């Protein structure tokens, strides 16, 4: 299978997840093209499966991902394509946070017109070491509300790699 993975990232966790998917698919014998949405990703035409990933920041996904999807929405809607959303809300036990995440994703899909065959919410990471002073304070408050670590001297990854592998294998029908 010829697979395209396009991703948008802010702190790098979505890139890490996309690379993991690429490596996993290649281990299964698939040909994979990986592209950052801020570069010039190839057209989805000619691919058997297209995976697009983006992370939620301030209630929105990366504009470069939105632009890519809008530019290629007709082709994406004809192909097998899937969306993976990287966020911290998916590990939340707060129903309001989960509902807000679902609304953000639904709005994103409405605005782009994209109809992926599958959508996966994937837990991201708290990367305190990459945040400036103000973002660190804001993320610490969010983490406290969500019951996550507020110790800003370290980074905390919440991605469930087994869950990511299962999602990918399902799409590859492996």
What's the per-residue H, E or C state across the chain? CEEEEEECCCCCHHHHHHHHHHHHHHHCCCEEEEEECCCCCCCCCCCCEEEEEEECECCECCHHHHHHHHHHHHHHHHCEEEEEEEECHHHCCCHHHHHHHHHHHHHHHHHHCCCCCEEEEEECEEEHHHCCHHHHHHHHHHHHHHCCCCCCCCEEECCCHHHHHHHHHHHHCC
The structure's pTM equals: 0.92
Sequential pLDDT tens for the chain (174 residues): 999 999 999 989 999 999 999 999 999 999 999 999 999 999 999 999 999 999 998 889 999 999 999 999 999 999 999 999 999 887 777 788 889 999 999 999 999 999 999 999 999 998 899 889 988 888 888 788 777 788 888 898 999 999 999 999 999 995
Class of domain 2-124+161-172: alpha beta
The ranges assigned to domains in the chain are 2-124+161-172, 126-158
């Amino acid at each position: 299978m010829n697979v395209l993975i396009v991703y948008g990232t802010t702190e790098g966790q979505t890139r890490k997840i996309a690379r993991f998917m690429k490596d996993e698919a290649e281990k299964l014998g698939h040909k994979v093209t990986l592209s950052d949405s801020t570069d010039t990703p190839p057209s989805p035409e000619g691919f058997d499966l297209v995976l697009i990933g983006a992370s939620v920041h301030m209630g929105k996904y990366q504009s470069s991902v939105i632009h890519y999807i809008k530019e290629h929405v007709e082709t994406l809607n004809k192909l097998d394509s899937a969306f993976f959303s990287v966020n911290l809300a998916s590990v939340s036990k707060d129903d309001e946070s989960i509902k807000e995440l679902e609304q953000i994703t639904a709005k994103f899909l409405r605005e782009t017109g994209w109809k992926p065959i599958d959508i996966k919410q994937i837990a991201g990471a708290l990367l305190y070491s990459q945040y400036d002073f103000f973002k660190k304070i804001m993320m610490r408050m969010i983490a406290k509300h969500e019951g996550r670590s507020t110790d800003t001297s370290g980074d905390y990854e919440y991605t469930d790699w087994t869950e990511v592998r299962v999602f990918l294998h399902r799409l590859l029908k492996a």
